[in-house]
Amino acid sequence: MGLKRRLFAFGLTLLLAGPVLVAPMASGQEAASDAVTRKIRERVTPDYPELAKQMGILGKVRIVVTITAEGRVTNTQAVGGNPLLLAAAGDALKKWRFEPAHKETTEVIEFEFGGTN
């Protein structure tokens, strides 16, 4: 019974916090910068991996990114998506630069890899 309560509480937390944490998705291989709190100075678009193209892998990926006060990406953590696509998105995000802020922040960035890319 304790497990059910913990799972319920976890699910409720995700339900309530999810819309706050996840930036809306943009089409193509662009990240949703409109909902990102920190302004982006320099954005690098991820390459669509050749193997993913050949295998017909499409879809969204979400990555939690930690940004220093100076605007550099120090950490990326995959939240969801195909591993082939996640690697490409993570590599691109490590090259992003954000506007400086008073402290380190965490953002969730979402990419969509489509068939036309």
CA 62 to chain centre: 3
pLDDT, one tens digit per residue, over 41-56 is: 999 999 999 999 899 9
- Say how far apart CA 9 and CA 14 lie, in whole Å: 9
Find, among 39, 29, 41, 15, the residue nearest to 107 by Cα: 39
Q: Which residue has the higher pLDDT, 3 or 30?
A: 3
Domain ranges of the chain: 24-113
- Say how far apart CA 15 and CA 48 lie, in whole Å: 31
CATH fold for the domain made of 24-113: TolA/TonB C-terminal domain (3.30.2420)
Q: How confident is the model at residue 83 (pLDDT cuts 50, 70, 90)?
A: very high
CA 25 to chain centre: 9
Q: What is the pTM of this model?
A: 0.65
User: Cβ(85)–Cβ(61) under 8 Å?
Assistant: yes
- Say how far apart CA 27 and CA 17 lie, in whole Å: 23
pLDDT, one tens digit per residue, over 22-79 is: 333 333 344 443 456 889 999 999 999 999 989 999 999 999 999 999 999 999 999 9
Kindly tell me if the per-residue pLDDT of 91 is higher than 90. yes
- Say how far apart CA 83 and CA 107 lie, in whole Å: 20
